[in-house]
Structure 1
Amino acid sequence: MKLQDHLYKCSIFLLVSFFLISCISDNETNDTVGEIDNPLQNPFDGIPAGNPDGNAAIPAEASLEDVSNPDTVIGDGTPESCTGQAFIDAVAKGGKIVFNCGEAPITITLDTPAKVFNNANDEVVIDGGGLVTLSGNNQTRILYMNTCDRNQVWTTDQCQNQDHPRLTVQNLTFANANSTNETEFDGGGAIWVRGGRFKAINCRFFNNTCASNGPDVGGGAIRVFSQYNNQPVYIVNSTFGGKEGLGNSGANGGAISSIGVSWTIINSLFSYNKAIGSGGNPARPNTPGGGSGGAIYNDGNTMTLTLSGTHITANEVNDFGAAIFFVTNDRSGNMVIETSTIENNIGGSWYPSYPGISAHADTDIRVVNSTIIE
């Protein structure tokens, strides 16, 4: 081989190698959504956590919790060691919880909810490392916290307004949960929370469901009551549904539902969720009630809903608020929608200026650099 031919081929090889390395680096960089490293890219379904177009700033209190020094490690490195009972036991102890189930994605199936004990630890952080799916097997709710439930231990005489436990779920998928068999604390197909504080970061919610009828029950994925000092629930870089066949459903609030709670939702995606009740709230005569808030259902008084970098699309209702149902009874609540898109949601609404949103006509709604269309 001539020297010049050899040098030419070496040059081509080096150029190709540099190109491949550049592509790999670019792909790794794209795993960052907003300002939080987001490892949740399940190779089996290809749906990431969060809105890929969302780039809103994330406040420090809404950031990932540090789990570098965990209190409990579930598993010994094998999938078989990561059981539903091991998860339930870990949640009962509280503290920082991580998983060691091997290098492949894993689904851990529960046959009863994991419940937070209010006197176990002020902090409860559950981090799936981007590999763990918690499944209710279409039979049970996955996670429950209630500061006013005596069975979970009362720790203050103001159970509805205490600063702990502070529950964080991050880098997890919640799938196929079902709370329809719950009678005392209904709604909240995957997660039910009252009191303390709650936030979800880099999480995905697929095919979760709660009661299908009722004027004030809901939250196919999440149901929340009374947060400490009316501080908001943070939902960050999370996906509810994501594609057809993966949406969540309930009587109201196909994805999330609350009474008297504020929410700050950042860089998240809500799609293909459904409010499947009918008759509204209060229920019309001869109807079971419900059917409002395809993605989000908020009811109460002084509360806020803030959407930043969030996409709400292809959600569906039978009655009101194809995307959002927001009723502040004393007219003291408000909504802020910034750098977000609400589009192509299906069903009723009342609020002519903003398709897909149901609210009183005098509700304070501030829209900044956002798109809201049919």
Structure 2
Amino acid sequence: MQRYIPLGYCVGCGRLCICLLVILLLVGCGGGSSSGAAGGDGIGSSTDPLAGPLAGNPDGTCAIPLAALAEEVWDPDEVVGNGTPASCSAEAFITAVARGGKIVFDCGPDPVTITLNRPAKVFNNARPDIVIDGGGMVTLSGGGTSRILYMNTCDRDQVWTTSHCQNQDHPRLTVQNLTFIDGNSRNESEYEGGGAIWVRGGRFKMVNCRFFNNTCALAGPDVGGAAVRVFSQYEGRPVYVTHCTFGGAEGFGNYGANGGGISSIGVSWTIINSLFTHNRATGRGANPRQPGTPGGGSGGAIYNDGNTMTLSLCGTLLAHNEVNAHGAAIFFVTNDRSGFLSLDRTVIRDNIGGSWYNLPGISMHADTAREIIDSVLE
């Protein structure tokens, strides 16, 4: 075990603490309802979100910057439903996402699960800000057969809006107070990975969300993100992940070729007070793949590949994730060694499998810059 001596803390309370309290209260509302438990390989299975763990790391104590907080939705642009569970249909949700803006739900007093047979897709020429807020009462399911949510500024079918689709400031997508279950992108051939959510371009943020039993392609040298896959964020700004859970308990983990929780190429991440457990990277043979193997199997929780990028974790727990190749918890490879890894009040322990380690649970080049503050790696 390696323990690192505290070098300092970021501090903040007041308004920030109040906002975090609101997030915690929303989590207490639960997720959605469905029959059955997490099962098998996720195909056609039904994960019960009410049985799953709450959002976020309960021991996380890091202050949350304003940019990483939930967005306000007091004056929504779109309301899915008219007060009954039946009115909160997949079609109503897909239509609302296509229109964009602030999206909330009116599905009645009880938790509800909305099961999609195709992804909801963001249109780049709709409202520039898309905020999807489930109020702690809504679960979005792929039913074991479909990805749940898709945004791509470089997809002509979603309308090109600039001449530099790989680096534009909108759409800006936020998902908050939602549960994503049983997403499956294995039947996606052009935009692989991202079992629950696939994003390219603009900006993306997740707050107070849970990801259970999502899956993507099971093998391949660079495909992944069983829950979430991200590319090309505007000006290299980070994806914020605040108070989210990926897996969190046995039977609820996400799994795919690489990056059982999240995966990206050339994208920076700031992950705060979050939980990654029981996720799996199922590929074999790493990247580049070894002869006679399909490739993959790296990054049980997190898979980051690229050049200049930062992975920052504060108040986050990564445990019981599993790989066949490298990085039982984290695979963080910046090919030109210009990246930066930051761990603050983060615990990495009891992750399983893999090789090529210079920090417990983390596969990265030995000369990549890093800062480790008051964290436990074992």
Which residue is equivalent to 1:348?
Answer: 354
Match of 2:144 among 138, 144, 152: 138
C-alpha deviations, 1:218-261, integer Å up to 9, x for none?
00000000100000000000000010000001100001000000
Work out whether 1:251 is the aligned partner of 2:238: no
Match of 1:75 among 65, 81, 102: 81
- Native 8 Å contact 1:196 1:228 kept in 2: yes
Structural mapping, 1:64-103, within 5 Å: 64-103=70-109
Aligned-residue Cα RMSD (Å) equals: 1.3
Work out whether 1:37 is the aligned partner of 2:23: yes
- Native 8 Å contact 1:265 1:306 kept in 2: yes
C-alpha deviations, 1:101-128, integer Å up to 9, x for none?
0111100000000000000010000000
Give 5+ residue unaligned stretches, structure 1: 1-30
TM-aligned CA deviation for residue 269 of structure 1: 0.1
Which residue is equivalent to 2:60?
Answer: 54
TM-aligned CA deviation for residue 349 of structure 1: 3.3
Which residue is equivalent to 2:367?
Answer: 362
Structural mapping, 1:98-247, within 5 Å: 98-247=104-253
Change (3 A) 1:221 1:46: closer
TM-aligned CA deviation for residue 87 of structure 1: 0.4
Between 1:343-352 and 1:234-243, the stretch displaced more is: 343-352
- Native 8 Å contact 1:349 1:356 kept in 2: no
Structure possessing the higher relative contact order (Cα contacts under 8 Å, 6 or more residues apart): 2
Structural mapping, 1:313-328, within 5 Å: 313-328=319-334
Amino acid at match of 2:63: A
- Native 8 Å contact 2:52 2:252 kept in 1: no
C-alpha deviations, 1:144-191, integer Å up to 9, x for none?
000000000000000000000000000000000000000000000000
TM-score after normalising by structure 1: 0.90
Provide the rounded CA distance (Å) in 1 between the counterparts of 2:260 and 2:67. 26
- Native 8 Å contact 1:33 1:52 kept in 2: no
Amino acid at match of 2:223: V
- Native 8 Å contact 1:296 1:324 kept in 2: yes
1:205 partner SS: strand
TM-aligned CA deviation for residue 37 of structure 1: 2.3
Provide the rounded CA distance (Å) in 1 between the counterparts of 2:370 and 2:322. 22
C-alpha deviations, 1:253-285, integer Å up to 9, x for none?
001000000000000000000000000000000
Provide the rounded CA distance (Å) in 2 between the counterparts of 1:277 and 1:56. 33
Equivalent pairs: percent with the same residue? Answer: 66
TM-aligned CA deviation for residue 193 of structure 1: 0.1
The number of aligned residues is: 342
TM-score after normalising by structure 2: 0.89
Give 5+ residue unaligned stretches, structure 2: 1-16, 32-49
TM-aligned CA deviation for residue 351 of structure 1: 2.9
Match of 1:331 among 332, 337, 341: 337
Which residue is equivalent to 1:280?
Answer: 286
Amino acid at match of 1:138: G
Amino acid at match of 1:45: A
Provide the rounded CA distance (Å) in 2 between the counterparts of 1:37 and 1:283. 42
TM-aligned CA deviation for residue 34 of structure 1: 4.6
Larger radius of gyration: 1
Provide the rounded CA distance (Å) in 2 between the counterparts of 1:329 and 1:285. 22
2:179 partner SS: strand
Provide the rounded CA distance (Å) in 1 between the counterparts of 2:21 and 2:346. 17
